[in-house]
Structure formats: structure tokens, C-alpha cells
């Protein structure tokens, strides 16, 4: 056995080695644990490969003496640690990523040469990162915020990055405004707060002076920004892109990701409480789903349209503050994305993955959307500062998975070792060196461009309110109420009355009723004047596809039901609920005030998965309360239990009760409605659990 340092003196010099190789754990002089490598385990080494004998004590001259500068092992370890962080992304800093594949189900050969969009049945590996926008990398998962939706396809013809969001429009029309927008939304520079929030003066000040943002404002104030799970959000490429076919003809395209599980959001109060209960709610959910093989899946759909069709739209298809309603240009589903592998290492992959909208493949091209044009520059630039080297494409998660070769050389952190004397092209000295490829190579769509140079905003970009109005009016009454409440919440946090007034002025162009609602709850006496508009606001046809509620699926798949029990609960009832829920495709968690096991009425034991205070009902899509009369009386005095049922009810969830459960509901002051189902009608509970109890909302919140 390796000699253990169990005495009171620190090890000085090399310990004598004897006996068989086995792990030895011993306590050193400072009381810390030492683990010594066996023959099967690699030795702990420095970055130069030098085996380390003691990883717990630095080099000193005596027990009370100073640490020696000579301790190169200490210095290497601490220096590396000091440099472990890289600059976080200026926006989208908090993200969650996973590997997967894209499978094409319908060829777009008529429109594009891109193999990833023409080879039906081919699986293209990919890496997807979903993010919040405003918060830092250590912020929470559930603020009210847009979600970034970035996909890197490792195609046979190079990497294609589709860097989108879960909202199909954007705040601004021109990239030159982006730094101002981001400075306005981020924490205010003099005070360093608020973190991950739009509810503050600088954001709304900027927005109130940016009428083109009003359509996006409707989206971000809707429940789209409060996803239940990252598996239940849509993704949009936002801009019009171009597909270019073999004849060189181009067609405009908008990309849409649609979740297999349907859309699902939380309510604001729920999102706030989830943030406290589990700041990693979304990341954990994705991690857990992938680890049990319940792989998240999205359909990829496209909207295709010609220049002539675009010319007939009452807005400009190059304006990213506009969308093309599905009712006008239907979505064609062309494939599916499955996320099936969690990264080996968060930093190496999720943090270092570098997306650039400029990464396209032959057959996919850009449009002249001025927002997209600016993005083509910004992302490469930001990766250089974030990852610190022009060689960031050599990091495994960023490297193409097809052959790639060129004459770019050297640079910070170069990993490749190209051989030979030729590092230029054309050349006569290296016959096998890489050359231009006239067939496989990328060609930009051949477009005639002319004009007078200037800082220009197209007149066709001038209508800032019609689609905002269309969006708001297309929502259900519940969704409209949520938009109004969100605006009241956000603007109530604004300290400057003139900013609130300016915002309500904009709302008047969207819908006077909305402006009135918001003004009322903000305590405004009179409705402020609406700002003048460059063009008249149009009444576009309503688009039900813009509703969130309309896109929710009545399903329990991918969802989770919490069952609150205690000692004395009925075993058969718990079993029946568990079975019915599992059959409907949801996960079940048993919650009790006491962790470990609960002793049920028949003497059997039930495993408890979560402790009541640490596993509130906000973690679930529906709940069941199964309690003995005694337990119901006891829990009636426990705030966490009262909150559990009140929140489940208040968050419009289905609640299943036995007699004891019903008693707890009564103690909590809940008046049962159609979404509160007795255990005898388990089928009704399952049906109710597949959706939210929207009709309940009017009984618990002022919707006017």
C-alpha cells in the first residue's frame, strides 16, 4: 500500500512505495482527504504531463512559513483557473445545447441545390442551442424574454447555421440600431440591475422612441416569452432568405421550427415562482428528457414565395418587423430535427459553439434585409473576441464534419499542422493542394443592384402598427388579457411617467381597448395622444395561427403530474392515478412533506420523489392530492401545502382529489370548478390535465 500520510507532520519528500496497487484514501496533516492512483487509474499530472504527488498542499518551507514562488504546480493550476472564463455572449449568454440530427422528408430540389434540403432520408448531424437574450450566463431560465433558437447543421457541403428566435419578428429594421437596443435592455450601466428583465426605464424609453418595435412588443408581452419547456417552443429564421436552384433561379424562404409536443407556456406568476424553485428549470427539463430517451423533436417547415408574390404583400418581405401570415403563404413541412445527445461537456460545446448567420451552403443565400446584412458581419466579429482566436472553427463543436482545406495558416491557438512549403493559391508547387471548385463552389445569387448611395430606410418599411394590430386582434380573450397585464407589469416598473405615456400612445394605434386597459391600471387619468404615423394603420385579416392557445396540443406527452401524498394516503388511489397518467404519456412525481417514504393506509410504502417545500406545484402541469383526513387536517396548517393547491388552481391546472384532497382545497379557500375532478372520474382528470383551465381564469383574475 502506498504510504499514507496519517500523522501530524506534512509529507516531506517522496513516500516509500510498497505493496499492491490500490486506491488509498488517507487524511493529510490539514485534515483533507488524499486519493492515491492505482495501476488502473491515470496519474494526476500537470498540463506538461508531470505526475503530481500531492494535490492538497502547496510548497512551503515549514508549517507556518510562506508559500514558495517555486511551486510551479500551484502556479500552473491557479493560473489556468484564473483564465477559465471567457467573455460571455453580449446577448444570448444563458443557453442550453444538445446534439441531434436533421432528417429531410421532402426534397426542395426545384428550389435549391443544397444537399441538406434535397437528399430525402439523409440525416445531417447538428447542434442546437436555445437561449434567453437579456440575462447573463448565470441568470435564470424563466424570465419574460425571447428565446434564441440556433441550429448548426454539419452538412456535407459545410456548416449551415440557422440562427433564429422563438418569435418570428424582431424589434428593429436596421442592424445599426442593435447596439442601442441591447444597451437599453441590459442592466442599467450606473446601477448594474435589473438582471434578465425588460421591466425598467431604459428599455421602455428606447422602445417608446422606436415605433417599428411595436409588433415585436406584442409578441414579447404575450405568453410566448414564458415557455413551459424548451421542447415546446417554435423557432423562426425570422428573415427572408433565398434558395437558389441549379438554374440559378432564386426563391424567397422563411424557416419555421414546430415542436412535436405543441406549444405550451406558463403564466407570469408561475414563471416567477419557477425561477425561485428551480432557476435551471428549462435546462434540467431538456437534460432529463434526453437522458431518458424522450428525444425532443421539431418539424422544419418553409414558406416559399417569389419576388412577384412578395411585391404583392402589403408590407416589405425584407423588413424583419413583419411576418408572412401562414394563411397567406402556407407552411410546407420538409423534415424533422431530433435532439438525442447531451453534450459531453457544457463549456467545450454549449459555451464554445459559435453560430454565424453568414455560414450558409451552396443553394442557400441571403436576402437584402438590412438587419440580416448587419448580422452577416457581427457574428464572426463577436466570435473572434469571445473565443479569442481566428481558429475558433477548429474547436470540435464548430468544426465542419465534411473535409475542409484552405491556405489560412497560423494564428492564436492553431491546432492544425499543415505540411509542405505551399500555403498559397494558385500555385505550381503542390499539385494536391486545395483549389477553387467551379461546380461545387458557392455562388451568390446573381442579382442586379444599382442606386444612389445613402443612409436609406425604404418607404415600404414605414407601417409599424398594422401587423401589431393584426397580432393583438388575432389572440384569444385570455391571451389579450395576458398581453395587457404584462404591459401593466412592465410599465409599472418604469419610473418616468413620460415613458409610460409614450408607450400607451403607441398602443392606441394597435387597439384603443388595449391602451385603455393599460392606462387604467397604470392610473393614468386621460389617454395620451397617439404619435403621428407616416402611413395609415391597416386592418389586416385576422390570423388565428398567431395564437398560442390555438397551437397548444391537448396532450400529456412530455408533461409531468405531481401527486401530493402523506402517511395514511390510499395506496390503490395513488396507483390508479399513476397508471392513468403514465398511460397518457406523462411523468409522475410523488410529493410529500417528509422525504424518503410514506407509509400508506394499507401498510405499504410509497417512495417520495420530492419534498413539498422544495417541489411546489409550479413544477407540474397538473396535480393530484391524495390524503387521509388526518393528513389533510395537518397539511391545512402548512403554508407550503396551501400554496401547492392554491398555485395549482391559480395557474389554471387540473386538480384531482380524493376526500382528503378535497378537504385541503376547502382549507385553502378554493371553490371547485370543472377542472377540479374527483378521483372517481379519473378519465375526466386526464382530459382536463391535457390542457389549461382557461375558463377558470375569469374567476381568479381581473381580465378587463
Question: Could you list the active site residues?
Answer: 92, 165
- 692: annotated binding-site residue? no
- CB of 501 vs ligand HDE, minimal distance in Å: 28
Q: How far is the CB of 261 from ligand HDE (least distance, A)?
A: 21
- Distance (Å, rounded) from C-alpha 594 to C-alpha 592? 5
| 81: enclosing H helix or E strand | helix 72-82
CA atoms of 592 and 606, how far apart (whole Å):
10
Q: What are the distances in angstroms from CA 274 to CA 81, 134, 158, 220, 279?
A: 32, 18, 40, 19, 7
Query: Which residue, 161 or 570, has its beta carbon nearer to ligand HDE?
Result: 161
CA–CA dist 348, 343 (Å, integer): 8
Candidates 102, 178, 281, 649: give the one binding ligand HDE (CB under 6 A): 178
CB 213 within 8 A of CB 172: yes
The minimum distance between CB 290 and ligand HDE, in angstroms, equals 18
Which residue of this chain has its Cβ atom nearest to ligand HDE in the complex? 148
* Least distance CB 150 / ligand HDE (angstroms): 4
Binders in 369-388 for ligand HDE, by CB under 6 A: 371, 374-375, 378-379, 382
Question: Considering only CA atoms, which of 638, 642, 592 is closest in space to residue 615?
Answer: 592
Contacts of 319 (CB under 8 A, 6+ apart): 173, 369, 458, 460, 461
Q: Using the minimum distance from each CB to ligand HDE, give the nearer residue, 104 or 150.
A: 150
**Residue 647 in contact with residue 591, Cβ under 8 Å?**
no
Number of other residues whose CB lies within 10 A of the CB of residue 536: 9
Which residues, other chains included, contact 487 with Cβ-Cβ below 8 Å and sequence gap of 6+?
221, 503, 507, 514, 518
For every residue of 566-585, DSSP letters joined together read -TT--HHHHHHHHHHHHHTT
Q: Is the dihedral of CA 226, 230, 232, 238 positive or negative?
A: positive
Footprint (CB under 6 A) of ligand HDE, residues 517-536: none
Compute the distance between CA of residue 66 and CA of residue 563 in angstroms, rounded to an integer: 58
E strand spans, 268-392: 297-305, 332-341, 364-365
Q: What is the DSSP letter of 217?
A: H
517 is in an annotated binding site: no
Measured CA to CA, the distance from residue 173 to residue 464 in angstroms comes to 10
Distance between CA 565 and CA 628 in Å, rounded? 9
| 379 carries a ligand binding annotation | yes
Contact between 333 and 299 (Cβ < 8 Å): yes
Residue 371 or 584 with smaller CB distance to ligand HDE: 371
Rounded to a whole number of angstroms, the minimum distance from the CB of residue 339 to ligand HDE is: 14
**Smaller CB distance to ligand HDE: residue 320 or 547?**
320
Stretch that binds ligand HDE, among 26-34, 48-56, 159-167, 662-670 (CB under 6 A): 159-167
Helices assigned H by DSSP within 607-702: 629-635, 639-650, 659-667, 682-689, 697-700
Least spacing, CB of residue 186 vs ligand HDE, in Å: 12
How many Cβ atoms sit within 10 Å of the Cβ of residue 278?
20
435 in a known ligand binding site: no
* Cβ neighbour number for residue 389 with a 10 Å cutoff: 15
DSSP string across 494-522:
---HHHHHHHHHHHHHH-HHHHHHHHHHT
Comparing CB distances to ligand HDE, the nearer of 170 and 219 is: 170
CB atoms within 10 A of CB 402: 13
250 neighbors 180 (Cβ within 8 angstroms): no
Residues 199-258 that bind ligand HDE (CB under 6 A): 238
φ and ψ at residue 381, rounded to 5 degrees = -60, -45
Specify the residue, 129 or 317, whose C-beta has the smaller distance to ligand HDE: 129
Q: How far apart are CA 680 and CA 665, in angstroms?
A: 17
Beta 364-365 vs 610-611: how paired, if at all?
Answer: unpaired
Q: How many residues does the chain have?
A: 704
In the complex, the smallest distance separating the C-beta of residue 100 from ligand HDE, rounded to whole angstroms, is 15
Is residue 89 part of an annotated ligand binding site?
A: yes
Rounded CA gap, 275 and 284, in Å?
A: 13
Query: Is the CB of 213 or the CB of 591 nearer to ligand HDE?
Result: 213
Task: Write down the least CB distance from residue 643 to ligand HDE, Å.
Answer: 35
Closest CB 490 distance from ligand HDE, rounded Å:
21
Residues 97-136 that bind ligand HDE (CB under 6 A): 129, 131
By CB under 6 A, name the one of 116, 117, 150, 261 that touches ligand HDE. Answer: 150
Among 135, 143, 148, 528, binds ligand HDE (CB under 6 A): 148
Which residue lies nearer to ligand HDE by CB, 379 or 478?
A: 379
- Asked whether residue 178 is marked as a ligand-binding residue, the answer is yes
Number of residues binding to ligand HDE, judged by CB under 6 A: 25
Cβ nearer to ligand HDE, comparing 358 with 667: 358
Residues with Cβ < 8 Å from 498, sequence gap 6 or more? Answer: none
Give the per-residue contact string, 306-325, with ligand HDE (x = CB under 6 A; - = no). --------------x-----
CB of 35 to ligand HDE, least distance (A): 37
Residue ranges in 339-358 that form contacts with ligand HDE under rule CB under 6 A? 355
Choose the stretch contacting ligand HDE; rule: CB under 6 A; options: 147-155, 524-532, 681-689, 693-701. 147-155
Of 16-55, which residues contact ligand HDE (CB under 6 A)?
Answer: none
Among 5, 165, 303, 693, binds ligand HDE (CB under 6 A): 165
CA angle, 320 then 324 then 327, to 5°:
165
Q: Residues 77-96 vs ligand HDE: string with x where CB under 6 A? A: ------------xxxx--x-
Q: Which is nearer to ligand HDE, 377 or 404 (CB)?
A: 377
In the annotated binding site, the residues are: 89, 129, 178, 375, 379, 386
Residues making up the binding site for heme: 89, 129, 178, 375, 379, 386
User: Which chain residues interact with ligand HDE by CB under 6 A?
Assistant: 89-92, 95, 129, 131, 148-150, 163-165, 170, 175, 178, 238, 320, 355, 371, 374-375, 378-379, 382
Amino acid at each position: 500500500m502506498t504510504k499514507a500520510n496519517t500523522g501530524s507532520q506534512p509529507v516531506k519528500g517522496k513516500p516509500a512505495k510498497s505493496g499492491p496497487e490500490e486506491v488509498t484514501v488517507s487524511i493529510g496533516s490539514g485534515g483533507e482527504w488524499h486519493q492515491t492512483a492505482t495501476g488502473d487509474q491515470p496519474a494526476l499530472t500537470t498540463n506538461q504531463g508531470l505526475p503530481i504527488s500531492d494535490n492538497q498542499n502547496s510548497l512551503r518551507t515549514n508549517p507556518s512559513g510562506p508559500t514558495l514562488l517555486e511551486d510551479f504546480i500551484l502556479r500552473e493550476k491557479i493560473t489556468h483557473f484564473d483564465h477559465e472564463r471567457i467573455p460571455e455572449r453580449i446577448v444570448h449568454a444563458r443557453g442550453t445545447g444538445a446534439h441531434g440530427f436533421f432528417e429531410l422528408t421532402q426534397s426542395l430540389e426545384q428550389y435549391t441545390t443544397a444537399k441538406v434540403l434535397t437528399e430525402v432520408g439523409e440525416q445531417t448531424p447538428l447542434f442546437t442551442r436555445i437561449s434567453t437574450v437579456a440575462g447573463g450566463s448565470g441568470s435564470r431560465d424563466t424570465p419574460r424574454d425571447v428565446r434564441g433558437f440556433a441550429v448548426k447543421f454539419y452538412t456535407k457541403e459545410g456548416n449551415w447555421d440557422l440562427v433564429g428566435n422563438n418569435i418570428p419578428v424582431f424589434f428593429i429594421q436596421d442592424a445599426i440600431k442593435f447596439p442601442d437596443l441591447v444597451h437599453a435592455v441590459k442592466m442599467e450601466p450606473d446601477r448594474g440591475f435589473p438582471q434578465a428583465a425588460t421591466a425598467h426605464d431604459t428599455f421602455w424609453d428606447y422602445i417608446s422612441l422606436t415605433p417599428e418595435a411595436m409588433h415585436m412588443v406584442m409578441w414579447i408581452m404575450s405568453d410566448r416569452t414564458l415557455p413551459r419547456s424548451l421542447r415546446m417552443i417554435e423557432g423562426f429564421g425570422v428573415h427572408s432568405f433565398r434558395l437558389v436552384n441549379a438554374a440559378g433561379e432564386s426563391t424567397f424562404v422563411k424557416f419555421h421550427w414546430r415542436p412535436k409536443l405543441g406549444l405550451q407556456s406558463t403564466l407570469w406568476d408561475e414563471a416567477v415562482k419557477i425561477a425561485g424553485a428551480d432557476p435551471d428549470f428549462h435546462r434540467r427539463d431538456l437534460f432529463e428528457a434526453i437522458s431518458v430517451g424522450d428525444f425532443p423533436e421539431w418539424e422544419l417547415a418553409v414558406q416559399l414565395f417569389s419576388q412577384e408574390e412578395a411585391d404583392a404583400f402589403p408590407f416589405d418581405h425584407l423588413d424583419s418587423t413583419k411576418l408572412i401570415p401562414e394563411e397567406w403563404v402556407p407552411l410546407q413541412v420538409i423534415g424533422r430535427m431530433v435532439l438525442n445527445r447531451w453534450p459531453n461537456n457544457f463549456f467545450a460545446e454549449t459555451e464554445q459553439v459559435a453560430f454565424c448567420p453568414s455560414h450558409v451552403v451552396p443553394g442557400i443565400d441571403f436576402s437584402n434585409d438590412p438587419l440580416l446584412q448587419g448580422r452577416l458581419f457581427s457574428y464572426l466579429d463577436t466570435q473572434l473576441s469571445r473565443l479569442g482566436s481566428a481558429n475558433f472553427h477548429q474547436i470540435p463543436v464548430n468544426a465542419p464534419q465534411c473535409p475542409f482545406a484552405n491556405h489560412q495558416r497560423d494564428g492564436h491557438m492553431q491546432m492544425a499542422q499543415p505540411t509542405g512549403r505551399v500555403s498559397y493559391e494558385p500555385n505550381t508547387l503542390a499539385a494536391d493542394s486545395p483549389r477553387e471548385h467551379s461546380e461545387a463552389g458557392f455562388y451568390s445569387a446573381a442579382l442586379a443592384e444599382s442606386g444612389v448611395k445613402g443612409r436609406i430606410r425604404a418607404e415600404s418599411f414605414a407601417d409599424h402598427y398594422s401587423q401589431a394590430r393584426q397580432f393583438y386582434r388575432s389572440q384569444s380573450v385570455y391571451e389579450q388579457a395576458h398581453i395587457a397585464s404584462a404591459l401593466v407589469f412592465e410599465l409599472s416598473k418604469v419610473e418616468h411617467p413620460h415613458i409610460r405615456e409614450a408607450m400607451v400612445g403607441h398602443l392606441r394605434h394597435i387597439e384603443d381597448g388595449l391602451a385603455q386597459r393599460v392606462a387604467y391600471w397604470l392610473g393614468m387619468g386621460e389617454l395620451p395622444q397617439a404619435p403621428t404615423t407616416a402611413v395609415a394603420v391597416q386592418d389586416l385579416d385576422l390570423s388565428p395561427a398567431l395564437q398560442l392557445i390555438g397551437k397548444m396540443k391537448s396532450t400529456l406527452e412530455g408533461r409531468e403530474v405531481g401527486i401530493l401524498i402523506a402517511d395514511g394516503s390510499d395506496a390503490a388511489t395513488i396507483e390508479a392515478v399513476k397508471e392513468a397518467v403514465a398511460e397518457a404519456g406523462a411523468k409522475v412525481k410523488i410529493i410529500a412533506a417528509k422525504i424518503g417514504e410514506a407509509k400508506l393506509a394499507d401498510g405499504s410504502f410509497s417512495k417520495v420523489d420530492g419534498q413539498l417545500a422544495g417541489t411546489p406545484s409550479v413544477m407540474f402541469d397538473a396535480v393530484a392530492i391524495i390524503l387521509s383526513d388526518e393528513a389533510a387536517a395537518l397539511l391545512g396548517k402548512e403554508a407550503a401545502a396551501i400554496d401547492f393547491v392554491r398555485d395549482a388552481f391559480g395557474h389554471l391546472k387540473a386538480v384531482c382529489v380524493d376526500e382528503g384532497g378535497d378537504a385541503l382545497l376547502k382549507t385553502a379557500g378554493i371553490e371547485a370548478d370543472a377542472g377540479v375532478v374527483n378521483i372517481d372520474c379519473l378519465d375526466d382528470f386526464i382530459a382536463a390535465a391535457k390542457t389549461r383551465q382557461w375558463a377558470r381564469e375569469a374567476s381568479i383574475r381581473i381580465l378587463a
